[in-house]
Structure 1
Amino acid sequence: MHDRQTTLRSRVTLSGVGVHSGRPVTMHFNPADADTGVVFHCNDGTEIRALVSEVGATDLCTVLGKLSSSHVATVEHLMAALLGLGIDNVAIEVDGTEAPILDGSAAAFVEAFEQAGIEQLSAHRRYIRVVKPVRIDSGASWAEFQPYDGTRFEVEIDFENPAIGRQAFKSDIDPKVFRRDIARARTFGFMRDVERLWAAGYALGSSLENSVVVGDDGAIINMEGLRYPDEFARHKTLDAMGDLALAGARFIGCFRSYRGGHKLNAAALRHLLSDSSAFEIVEATRRERGRSAELIAVNAPAYAPWVL
């Protein structure tokens, strides 16, 4: 458990296309002071904080801001990389309305952030610790938070397509696990949905370069095949990490879901944060030299980002 907040050591830039808009976009990631959190700076001067209270849509991706005005879409892979590597504070300049899809995973974000370096700040890090179970159901799908001594994800998916079927990824999460087991898992879709999505104005930037495409017969269309045997469940875990990174602080607990997605992830997070008896705010502090960080309960100020 790290006791200090972090930021990037230097500025780093990534460019690509938006998977839905198909338009080019560049993001500049800048170091930020303690307690800044993750803030997007749009071309029109608007600032959008990376918080679940700012989520404006969750249909095919997670969108921060309102679609009718300033917004940044498809932030989940970027946010997962920040959460997975333990980066708390960053100011992001973006010249479009969607994060670049890159190769469809978080790998390029991880590489860029590690190239920039991660710097420890003097301020203590705060966590949201789950203290009682919280669950939300939506038809056959469900998601829940459980108390747990650590940060753990247990994500299960269930598709009729034979290439996917029912599979799950379950693991405690730290930077090493994230880099090795989750970061390279790519977004995926089905050949039968492509024309429908294009007609609706979505997936205009999607290609075999940034998505795993599954045929109706269960065949993987991509020549290189899968990066992991259970890449689909791992990518859903990546998405869940990105969506829960919008809590405003890291959480200590276990997140479990079955047949989840962006909408369910956001709803579960809102459900947790709306019940003040389900969590407490704790601060990591190192009391003696050489000892690991201890977690001390603190009173959350009224302006704290996790207060909805």
Structure 2
Amino acid sequence: MDGFAQLPLGRRRRLAASISCRGVGLHSGASITLTLRPGQPGQGIVFHRTDIDVTIPARHDHVVDTRLCTALGLPDQKEARVGTVEHVMAALAAAGIDDAVVELDGPEVPILDGSAEPFLFLIQCAGTTEQPGTLRAIEVLKTVRVQDAQGGWAELEPGEEPFFDAALSIEFAGTAIGTQRFSLRVTADSFREELANARTFTLAEEVNHLRSLGLAQGGGLHNAVVVDGPLVLNPGGLRRPDEFVRHKLLDVVGDLALAGHPIHGRFTGHRSGHALNNQLLRALFADRSAWRFAGAAIPAAETRVPVAA
């Protein structure tokens, strides 16, 4: 990827410098400053709320809400929460960032244009550099599958080492979305070229209901694709005919980055969203025979071991 250093396989990576932006929270409507900072060796990705001085690990077992986004929190601390983490997590994972602090002065990651592309731009501007310590990946050893009552499902299975392959299908009958499918071997280049600029989307009929629930307070045609039956309401239309499934696959990359380590394996899903993506990680780590660490051992102080909740 242009602007990202190609480091030796197995070496940790961090940002070379801090970088900031300001934007609105999609659901909270709050104006929030985000700063990406270099992390300490072995720290992993953490979110730090400067307004309440709370740090939350970016891990699957800290997911506290999956309604229309992925939100992280701390047990028994209702105010210790960060929402809409999936797009910045996807960008950090695609750029190979292992250790970083995502600093915020509010309750939610800014939505920016509704995609991961602005976060990739920030990372590229900051640059990346080698970090002490050795990276370990999670190798999927057997198929793990979860499903819901609405017919959605998601699974992880062994794949071709050392890659992460993903395939997803979605189905929104009677709308401009329809049925779409997309598959990809996820690398820094393929993420940038195929997924990064795909925007989040919603149905026009759901907007008023979401706002009555206190959600989508900062949403608009400038940061989301809005579909009204067969119509796309955004004046500029779609960035790609299958932008919808590409964005859902972008979400998969961000949600699965909460494993705390790169995943070597294959993801397949149908109508999978944030809830199923998180359930899939919890199911994987609940079965110790389903995965193992790949790569050289690292000192205990630098090990980020996923914890099943």
What one-letter code is carried by the residue in structure 1 that aligns with 2:32? Answer: V
Shift of the 300–164 alpha-carbon distance from structure 1 to 2, 3 Å rule, reads farther
2:67 to 59, 64, 69: 59
The residue correspondences of 1:1-308 to structure 2 (distance < 5 A) are 2-43=9-50, 44-65=52-73, 68-139=78-149, 140-149=151-160, 150-216=163-229, 218-283=230-295, 298=297, 304-308=304-308
1:251 deviation in Å? 0.5
What one-letter code is carried by the residue in structure 1 that aligns with 2:233? Answer: I
Equivalent pair of 1:136/1:271 in contact (CA under 8 Å)? yes
- Find the residue that maps to 2:257 and give its secondary structure: helix
Equivalent pair of 1:3/1:124 in contact (CA under 8 Å)? yes
Equivalent pair of 1:29/1:91 in contact (CA under 8 Å)? yes
CA distance in 2 between counterparts of 1:15 and 1:152 reads 33
Equivalent pair of 1:281/1:300 in contact (CA under 8 Å)? no
RMSD: 1.6
What one-letter code is carried by the residue in structure 2 that aligns with 1:160? Answer: A
CA distance in 1 between counterparts of 2:299 and 2:214 reads 42
Provide Cα deviations, 1:120-153, integer angstroms capped at 9, x if missing partner: 1232111000011111121211110010011111
Equivalent pair of 1:281/1:299 in contact (CA under 8 Å)? no
1:27 deviation in Å? 1.1
Provide Cα deviations, 1:213-259, integer angstroms capped at 9, x if missing partner: 0012x111011111111100000001111110000111000011101
1:301 deviation in Å? 5.8
What one-letter code is carried by the residue in structure 2 that aligns with 1:63? Answer: A
Provide Cα deviations, 1:53-89, integer angstroms capped at 9, x if missing partner: 1111111110000582211000000100011111111
Question: Structure 1: where are the runs of 5+ without partners?
Answer: 284-295
1:32 deviation in Å? 1.4
1:45 deviation in Å? 1.7
CA distance in 2 between counterparts of 1:110 and 1:197 reads 28
What one-letter code is carried by the residue in structure 2 that aligns with 1:148? Answer: G
Question: Structure 2: where are the runs of 5+ without partners?
Answer: 1-7
CA distance in 2 between counterparts of 1:304 and 1:125 reads 10
What one-letter code is carried by the residue in structure 1 that aligns with 2:287? Answer: D
**In the comparison of the two structures, how many residue pairs are matched?**
294
What one-letter code is carried by the residue in structure 1 that aligns with 2:278? Answer: A
CA distance in 2 between counterparts of 1:120 and 1:213 reads 41
1:182 deviation in Å? 0.3
CA distance in 2 between counterparts of 1:301 and 1:158 reads 44
Equivalent pair of 1:55/1:65 in contact (CA under 8 Å)? yes
Equivalent pair of 2:175/2:227 in contact (CA under 8 Å)? no
Provide Cα deviations, 1:4-36, integer angstroms capped at 9, x if missing partner: 110000000011000001110011111112211
What one-letter code is carried by the residue in structure 2 that aligns with 1:3? Answer: G
- Find the residue that maps to 2:231 and give its secondary structure: coil
Provide Cα deviations, 1:177-231, integer angstroms capped at 9, x if missing partner: 0001000000000111111111111101000000000012x11101111111110
TM-score (norm 2): 0.92
CA distance in 2 between counterparts of 1:300 and 1:33 reads 14
1:261 deviation in Å? 0.5
